[in-house]
Each structure stands twice: as structure tokens, then as C-alpha cells.
Amino acid sequence: MTDTDQPSDSASKPVLTARELAYQVLEQYRDSYQFVSALCEELSRDKTISPEDYRLAVELTHGIVRRKLTLEAVILAHVNRPKENIEPGLWTLLELGVYQLVFLDQVPHHAAVHETVELCKKNGQSRSAGFINGVLRGVTRSLTSDYTESPGQDTVPISPQRYLKLKLNVFPDQESQPAEFFSSAFSFPKWLIKRWRTRFNDTELLDLCFWFNAAPATWLRVNRLKGKPDELARQLVDAGKTVETGPFPDSLFVERAGRIDLLPGFEEGLFCVQDLTAMHASVMLAPKPGETILDLCSAPGTKTTHIAELMNDTGTVIATDSKKERLAKVDENCQRLGLKCIETIPILPSGEDIPAGPFDAVLLDVPCSNTGVLGKRPEARWRLKPEDIVEFSQLQLRLLHTAIYELKPGGRLVYSTCSIEPEENQLVIADILKQHPSLKLVEEEAYDPGDPADGGYQALLVKQA
């Protein structure tokens, strides 16, 4: 099925537009704090929506969650009341309209305003349509068609060296209030910006913010047990996709992938979505056919299934997680990919009841702050709190202690995070090496976000006899 095909029963399903889906997702996200990707899929499942509209809804929802402080600054410069005096549903409409006006070149201004006002009326908020129309038209008058390469109080960061000029100042001054400026203009919690400014200069921080605010790239890991990259690439190209080969033998980059479950080969288990940095964790572990391997924090199973594929689906992979519903996703991925050597086992959050070893190798992809993947997970920057990093590092150290005791002499352990915080990476490994003299650090890699994929950290440890 190509991404232009529609299910045969689509005529009987309610028709949903991009803006309607985006509004529903954002409203439910605000109330439930669920992941917007999952909400997009869930709320469109029993509806008829074109692939183009679905892609636009995904861009709107992800972009608005990422850039909520940027949008807030622009909106508040055009209203005469504080945010708390604006109904939440109306604020969502303003975010939808302003995001289109500022960030979507392909949407004409008049269409962005008109469609948002019509959505307001359709939602039963006709009495507020004039307010929405007035604010959006005010923003339209403040926009220019000029772009500059430098940040400023009157420029909205769009992409590297591309800032949209406004006719008024909406952001704090970068020189006198640097943390406030980066927080507002690029839409990150101020405490996180302050933290990063102790390690990164302004140029590096700009690069970091732009990477996290861009739409994430889609990398596929081809299931080597079911096919070859060039064969899948041909199917994707035939379906109208632009495809490039990646640095790993089984990796493919797909531009504007759209809904993953509609890509050729998905139902047949020909591939799994996985970032290049994440792929490297299993490659570093170097699993061999016939080995017994523990994946301690396995859900949703992307790295677990990679390990099994590298083992040619022979041997045993024990996949554990503290949440049974997340382990169900591992089983689902195994079934789709046709893998038989993976056994899923639920464990306690403390990890004290993990299956007994000894294991030839252990993958410990620990819970972390996710600061290396804030672009892929737009909600993560707003969920994270300063104290979480300390709590994560303590949990990570406890899990390491637990895993080491189940590793056989000469066995390998890969410690992996999608964080760029030293407290969760190098400092955890330094601590464990002090406490376990039998461990040897063989290799470690710290990945900067955008160079060329997600940020993160991986360390290969060997337990000496």
C-alpha cells in the first residue's frame, strides 16, 4: 500500500482535516500529557484523512508542542490580556494559527487565518471568532517577508542562519538576558538553557536549539533476515519516496516518510524505524549467533530486535522491562519482524528480580533525561525537571550494579543513554569503574545532537576474570 492509497471502507468513515486533527490532538495532549505522535495515530485511526493532511497535522502538533514558548511570545505581543485570561481552547486555536503564519511558508496567510477562524466556529466557539480573527490579523500585519542571518528581539528563529523579521520586538534582549532570550526564542525551559550555557558557547547552543526544533529525520533499519537494503529502497522509491543509504549496512534514510505503517514493507516486517545513534549501541555490543544476551530495559524493543537480527535469530535474547504493557510492544515488534529468539520477562522497577545469568553480554539502555532526542520527543523538554537528572543518574548506577553481577567473566556490557548530560554518561561510568575493579572500559562514544543524528552516549565495558 502506498501513502496515497485509502482503505476500501474510507467512504464510511468521518472525514478529518489536518487542522481538525491537530486541534483534537493538542487539546487531548494538554489534558492527558500523552505523546502527540501516539495521539495523531489514535485520533485518526477511524477517520478518513488524506496523507497530505496527516503530514500537516503531524507538523502542526509536533511543531506547536516544541515551539510553545516562541508562539507564546508572539501571541502575547498581540493581545491585551494575560494568557491565563484566555480560554485554553482559544489559546490552542491561536497557537494553530500563529504557527502556520510564522513557520509554514507553504500556507498562505489568508488561508491560515480563515481556516483557524472557521475551526473556531465549527468547535462551537463562534462568539470568540472575532477575537481569533483580530489576533491573527494583527500577527499578519507584524510579519515581514524579510529574513536575516542573526538572532534578535524582533526575529523568529526558523532554521540555521534563517530568522524571520518582525515589525516589533517580542523576545528578551540576548545580551542582557541570554537565558531568557534562548528560552523564549527557541522554546526551551529556562533552567535547561542555563544548564547548557555552562558547557556550550552561544554558537554551539544555537546549533543545538536548531537541531532540536527541526523535524526529525526518519532512518530505517532493514531487517537483514527478510531482505536487503537495496530491495527495500527500490520499493520505497516506487512508492514515491526519496531514499538514501546510510553509514551502517542496514540503514536507509527516507525523506518525508509520512505514516510509517503505510510504508511498503512495514506489515511484512522488512524494517524497523531506528536512529543511527541507537543502531550503534547493538553494533558496539557485537552480539554473536548462539549467545545468551540480556536486554535489561528493552521496551519498546527496537534495540532488542536489532540484537536478534545481528545474531541471525539464533541463541537467546532475554528482554526485560518493569512495565508489562511496554513489554507487549516488544512482543508485537518481534512478531512483525519474524524473530523467535527473544523471550520477554517483566521485572520490578528496582531490577532486583532480573533473570539469573551468567550472560555473554548485556545491553543496558537506561531510563534517562532524553536530552539527546528532544527534537524527536517534543514533549520531553516540558516533562523534564532539574531534579530528574540526579534521580536518573542514581537509578542508572543501581541498574549497572545489578547487571554487572549477571555478566559472565569476559562478558560484554554496553551502557547506553539518549542523554547529553555528563551526570548520566561519563560520570556514571567513572563511578562504576571505581566500584568494580574487574571492569575495563574498552570504548565510549558521546554523540552530539545533529552530528549527524541523535545525541547520546554509549560505553562498552568488559568484565575481566
pLDDT at 7: 45
Q: Are 176 and 121 in contact (CB under 8 A)?
A: no
Q: Report the chain's mean pLDDT, rounded to a whole number.
A: 94
Q: How do the domains of the chain map onto residue ranges?
A: 67-213, 218-273, 276-463
Residue entry with cell 484523512? 49
Domains 67-213 and 218-273 alike in fold:
no
Residue from 150, 181, 180 nearest 163 by CA: 150
Annotated catalytic residues are: 418
Strand partners, 459: 415, 444
Residue from 449, 388, 445 nearest 209 by CA: 449
How many Å apart are CA 308 and CA 221, to the nearest integer? Answer: 13
Domain spanning 276-463, CATH architecture: 3-Layer(aba) Sandwich (3.40)
User: Is the model more confident about 361 or about 14?
Assistant: 361
- Residue 130 C-alpha from the chain's centroid: 36
End-to-end CA gap in the chain = 53
Mean pLDDT of 293-299: 95
Q: Which fold would CATH assign to domain 67-213? A: N-utilizing Substance Protein B Homolog; Chain A (1.10.940)
Mean pLDDT of 75-84: 96
108 cis-preceded (ω within 30 degrees of 0):
no
Mean pLDDT of 139-168: 97
Return the C-alpha cell found at 103.
513557520
How many Å apart are CA 416 and CA 366, to the nearest integer? Answer: 6
Kind of pairing, strands 292-295 and 316-321?
parallel
Mean pLDDT of 279-290: 97
Mean pLDDT of 299-320: 97
Return the C-alpha cell found at 111.
488561508
Q: Is 443 helix (H, G, I), strand (E, B) or coil?
A: strand
pLDDT at 6: 46
pLDDT at 350: 73
Q: Is the pLDDT of residue 272 over 90?
A: yes
How many Å apart are CA 413 and CA 6, to the nearest integer? Answer: 46
How many Å apart are CA 280 and CA 460, to the nearest integer? Answer: 11
- Residue 428 C-alpha from the chain's centroid: 24
pLDDT at 11: 58
**Sequence letter at residue 386:** P
pLDDT at 164: 98
Sheet strands side by side (includes 271-273): 242-245, 251-255, 218-222, 271-273
pLDDT digits (tens, 9 = 90+) for 452-465: 899 999 999 999 98
Q: Is 181 helix (H, G, I), strand (E, B) or coil?
A: helix
pLDDT digits (tens, 9 = 90+) for 326-344: 999 999 999 999 999 999 9
Mean pLDDT of 285-306: 97
pLDDT at 51: 87
User: Is the backbone of residue 187 left (phi > 0), alpha (psi -120 to 50) or beta?
Assistant: left
Q: Are 125 and 141 in contact (CB under 8 A)?
A: no
Mean pLDDT of 259-285: 95
Mean pLDDT of 223-230: 94
User: What does the CA dihedral 203, 209, 211, 216 come to, rounded to 10 degrees?
Assistant: 180
Taking CA atoms, 338 is separated from 182, 219, 224, 345, 353, in Å, by 46, 20, 11, 19, 28
Q: Is the pLDDT of residue 451 over 90?
A: no
Mean pLDDT of 418-432: 98
Query: CB under 8 Å to 280, separation ≥6 — which residues?
Result: 248, 445, 447, 458
Q: Does CATH place domain 218-273 in 3.40.50.2000?
A: no
pLDDT at 1: 39
Q: Is the pLDDT of residue 114 over 90?
A: yes
pLDDT digits (tens, 9 = 90+) for 370-414: 999 999 889 999 999 999 999 999 999 999 999 999 999 999 999
User: Is the backbone of residue 258 left (phi > 0), alpha (psi -120 to 50) or beta?
Assistant: left
∠ Cα 115 119 120 (to 5°): 120
Model-level pTM?
0.92
Q: Is the pLDDT of residue 9 over 60?
A: no
Mean pLDDT of 19-34: 94
Query: CB under 8 Å to 259, separation ≥6 — which residues?
Result: 3, 41, 51, 54
pLDDT at 218: 93
Mean pLDDT of 125-146: 97
pLDDT at 348: 87
pLDDT at 231: 96
Mean pLDDT of 35-51: 92
pLDDT at 10: 52
Mean pLDDT of 17-44: 94
How many Å apart are CA 413 and CA 464, to the nearest integer? Answer: 11
How many Å apart are CA 109 and CA 133, to the nearest integer? Answer: 12
Taking CA atoms, 395 is separated from 15, 257, 428, in Å, by 46, 36, 10
In degrees and rounded to multiples of 5, residue 92 shows phi and psi of -60, -40
Residue from 363, 356, 317, 320 nearest 460 by CA: 363
pLDDT at 352: 77
pLDDT at 3: 45
pLDDT at 259: 83
Strand partners, 255: 242
Q: What percent of the chain has pLDDT over 70?
A: 98
**Dihedral sign (CA 63, 66, 71, 72):** positive
**Sequence letter at residue 394:** Q
Q: Which residues of 54-78 are buried (b: 16+ CB within 10 A; e: fewer)?
A: bbbbbbbbbbbbbbbbbbbbbbeeb
Q: Is the pLDDT of residue 33 over 90?
A: no
How many Å apart are CA 307 and CA 281, to the nearest integer? Answer: 9
Q: Is 162 helix (H, G, I), strand (E, B) or coil?
A: strand
